[in-house]
Amino acid sequence: MTIQILGTGCPKCKALEANAKKAVEEHKIDAVIEKITDIDEIMEMGVMMTPALAVDGEVKSAGKVLNKDQIAAYIKEGE
């Protein structure tokens, strides 16, 4: 499973990335977290507001910082 954090590196993007790492660790999820900072790639995924979270290429949330439990729910939904 691949979890993608879409954003240019703003504080909210970094917070979303940190929460995703916590969710993976605490729920013992086998996943790779990758950060996508290229604005063209972000827009190709249909995201107009960052930060955004995608699981296996499917955007689950955009424009808000999810907490670790919200992220875990999206990840488990994709398993």
Q: What is the pLDDT of residues 12-68, one digit of tens each?
A: 999 999 999 999 999 998 999 999 999 999 999 999 999 999 999 999 999 999 999
pLDDT score for 34: 97
Question: In the structure encoding, which two tokens stand for residue 70, read together?
Answer: 């919200």
10 catalytic residue (yes or no): yes
pLDDT score for 37: 96
Among 16, 19, 15, which residue's Cα sits nearest to residue 27?
19
13 catalytic residue (yes or no): yes
pLDDT score for 78: 67
**CATH class of segment(s) 2-78:** alpha beta
Task: Give me the catalytic one of 3, 5, 6, 13.
Answer: 13
Task: Give me the catalytic one of 1, 10, 18, 43.
Answer: 10
Domain ranges within the chain, ordered by starting residue: 2-78
The yes-or-no verdict on residue 79 having pLDDT over 70 is no
Total-model pTM: 0.92
